[in-house]
């Protein structure tokens, strides 16, 4: 933050003025086209979402937002047949040589904090530009359930440019019934939430959330078809070796975020051996109760390599100064905890990641369901970009690329619909499903980096020059077609304008 801004901020604080603008209304939809009576996507290779083998070339015929038919467009290696039906489509997309996969599901979404970006469409545009067609708000708009539910309705009707929203809210938020401090009150809130259209409960395991209250809320949620999700750091605390509580420094203070986030990793060598009986027993207990793991690897990745996260390719064009200032280390902002980050901290985090990733991969191999979430807007990770990083990190954990796509699509859809007692109608490229699709010119199974809005770099052998390739070409949600590069260009324009309005737009060294 430039000195001038710092002084202005200090002055604003002293005068009691708000530091940032209020959250703005979400603009009306303007980037999507459709849904169409008949939309045909021609000549693509299909990646189904259920880890089945990719196939193609195929034509996908979408009618009124649903996949009506998938037809062979020819044989690999031969010219495709000409004049393939239907010939009366309202819109044609030539995806010859491209790859089609189901729209991505981000199981850990946040958005709606004016301190980070007052324009809510910023996050929505970046999500859509990275192929995310469904998000679980975990929650959205802080505790403002009314706003989250309104956005959910507007997104479902295509009135705002946004992914489909599943609105999860914290216990006691959004109603005028007061704090939830008894099991009966918890049940009362869940009944209210179900009537209001809230899809599930987000637990933080703190404050009023005693075990008895959480049990009552979960029990009522199961009866009424609401999902439940908890922030959870307890995997390795459940398999400590030779002690019952993590060994922490004597001056450890949970509210000191460098100590808290440093401590998450410092447990890595206090546990039973990976793969040993205690490790297996822990995972089997999770599997027996049907717990779904949503590891959000990406959101802590700055901890293992702070310089990389701060200087990621996308910040220059896509991170506005207000968000960059939020990320810069300070003692107030949640997740901005690099007060005096050391080589030792980074080495510890790398060791922790090795074990954490193995745990998640072992769970998948044992039959446990793993989903993909980004937890964006903290710790130098932004909307969309962090989601693609999550795909890369699932692969690093040992997932085959097809398993990564499965985690990112049908696994999320199943997890969101399961509490409602319904099979998902999105998350697969299959006849009858909602037309949620990602269309990309490069094969994502060969390189997930190609899905970043900034693409990736490749040497052009014809010119011996490095080029940026990749990016998603179109994202389709409920048959509405979004031009991903146009979404990115609009965000880049907004960020350039915001940079022009501050004294020192360059990231702090
Ligand atoms: Zn979160």
Could you tell me the pTM of the whole model? 0.94
Fold category of 33-101+433-500 in CATH = Urease, subunit C; domain 1 (2.30.40)
| Encoded tokens for 453 | 């809005």
Residue 508 has pLDDT above 60, yes or no: no
* The two three-digit tokens of residue 399, written as one number: 């997932």
How would residue 12 be classed by pLDDT, with cut points 50, 70 and 90?
A: very low
Our CA dihedral for 417, 419, 420, 421, rounded to 10 degrees, sits at 90
Give residue 166 CA to ligand 1 midpoint distance, Å. Answer: 15
pLDDT in tens, 151-193: 999 999 999 999 999 999 999 999 999 999 999 999 999 999 9
Neighbour count for residue 479 (Cβ, 10 Å): 25
**How far from chain centre, in Å, is Cα 174?**
23
CB 288 within 8 A of CB 257: no
**Rounded Cα gap, residues 107 and 111, in angstroms:** 13
State in Å: Cα 108 to ligand 1 middle: 6
Ligand 1 centroid – CA 446 distance (Å): 30
Domain segments of the chain as ranges: 33-101+433-500
For residue 148, the model assigns a pLDDT of 95
- CA distances from residue 182 to 172, 190, 230, 344 in whole angstroms, order as listed: 11, 12, 19, 44
Kindly report the average pLDDT of the chain as a whole number.
93
Ligand 1 centroid to Cα of residue 296, in Å, is 9
Q: Separation of 387 CA from ligand 1 center, angstroms?
A: 13
pLDDT (average), residues 124-139: 97
pLDDT tens-digit readout, 25-58: 999 999 999 999 999 999 999 999 999 999 999 9
Q: So what's the pLDDT on residue 129?
A: 98
360-385 pLDDT tens trace: 999 999 999 999 999 999 999 999 99
The pLDDT-based confidence of 404 (bands split at 50, 70, 90) is very high
**Lowest mean pLDDT, pick from 40-44, 176-180, 271-275, 399-403:** 176-180
Please tell me the distance between residue 111's alpha carbon and the centre of ligand 1 in angstroms: 10
End-to-end CA distance of the chain: 10
| CA pair distance 214, 210, nearest whole angstrom | 6
Cα of 503 from ligand 1 centre, angstroms: 32
Q: Kindly indicate the confidence band of residue 395, based on its pLDDT and cuts at 50, 70 and 90.
A: very high
Cα(220) to ligand 1 centroid in Å equals 23
Distance 138 CA to ligand 1 centre (A): 6
Backbone angles phi, psi at 369, to 5 degrees: -90, 135
Cα 459 to Cα 97, 440, 443: the distances in Å are 20, 19, 17
**What is the CA 116 to chain-centroid distance, rounded?**
17
The Å distance, Cα 299 to ligand 1 centre, comes to 9
Output the CA 67–ligand 1 centroid distance in Å.
33
State the pLDDT confidence band at 1, using cuts at 50, 70 and 90: very low
Helix (H, G, I), strand (E, B) or coil at 339: coil
Output the CA 100–ligand 1 centroid distance in Å: 29
CA–centroid distance, residue 378 to ligand 1 (Å) = 9
Spacing, Cα 202 to ligand 1 middle (Å): 10
């Amino acid at each position: 933050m430039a000195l001038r801004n710092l002084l202005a901020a200090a002055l604003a604080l002293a005068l009691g003025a708000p530091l940032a603008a209020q959250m703005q209304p979400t603009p009306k939809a303007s980037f999507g086209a459709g849904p169409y009576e008949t939309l045909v996507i021609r000549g693509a290779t299909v990646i189904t979402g259920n880890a089945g083998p990719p196939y193609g070339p195929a034509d996908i015929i979408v009618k009124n937002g649903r996949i009506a038919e998938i037809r062979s467009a020819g044989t690999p290696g031969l010219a495709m047949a000409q004049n393939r039906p239907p010939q009366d489509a309202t819109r044609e997309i030539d995806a010859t040589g491209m790859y089609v996969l189901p729209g991505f599901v981000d199981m850990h979404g946040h958005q709606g904090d004016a301190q980070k970006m007052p324009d809510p469409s910023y996050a929505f545009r970046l999500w859509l530009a990275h192929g995310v067609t469904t998000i679980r708000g975990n929650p959205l708009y802080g505790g403002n359930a009314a706003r989250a539910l309104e956005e959910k309705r507007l997104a479902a009707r295509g009135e705002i440019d946004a992914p489909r929203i599943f609105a999860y809210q914290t216990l006691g938020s959004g109603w005028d019934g007061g704090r939830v401090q008894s099991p009966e009150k918890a049940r009362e809130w869940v009944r209210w939430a179900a009537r209001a259209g809230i899809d599930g409960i987000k637990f933080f395991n703190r404050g009023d959330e005693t075990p008895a209250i959480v049990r009552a809320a979960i029990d009522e949620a199961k009866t009424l078809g609401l999902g439940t999700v908890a922030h959870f750091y307890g995997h390795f605390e459940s398999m400590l070796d030779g002690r019952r509580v993590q060994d922490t420094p004597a001056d450890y203070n949970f509210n000191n975020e460098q100590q808290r986030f440093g401590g998450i990793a410092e447990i890595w060598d206090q546990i039973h051996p990976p793969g040993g009986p205690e490790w297996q027993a822990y995972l089997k207990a999770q599997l027996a109760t049907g717990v779904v793991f949503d590891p959000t690897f990406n959101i802590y990745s700055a901890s293992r390599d702070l310089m990389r996260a701060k200087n990621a390719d996308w910040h220059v064009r896509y991170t506005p100064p207000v968000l960059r200032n939020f990320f810069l280390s300070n003692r107030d902002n949640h997740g901005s905890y690099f007060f005096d980050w050391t080589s030792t901290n980074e080495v510890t985090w790398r060791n922790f990641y090795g074990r954490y990733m193995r745990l998640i991969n072992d769970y998948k191999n044992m039959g446990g369901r793993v989903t993909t979430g980004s937890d964006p807007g903290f710790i130098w990770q932004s909307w969309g970009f962090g989601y693609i990083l999550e795909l890369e990190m699932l692969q690093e954990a040992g997932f085959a690329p097809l398993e990564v796509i499965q985690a990112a699509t049908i696994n999320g859809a199943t997890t969101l619909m399961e509490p409602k007692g319904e099979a998902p109608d999105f998350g697969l490229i299959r006849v009858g499903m909602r037309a949620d699709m990602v269309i990309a010119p490069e094969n994502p199974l060969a390189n997930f980096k190609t899905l970043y809005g900034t693409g990736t770099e490749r040497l052009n052998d014809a010119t011996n020059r490095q080029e940026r390739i990749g990016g998603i070409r179109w994202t389709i949600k409920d048959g509405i077609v979004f031009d991903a590069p146009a979404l990115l260009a609009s965000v880049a324009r907004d960020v350039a304008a915001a940079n022009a309005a501050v004294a020192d737009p360059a990231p702090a060294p």
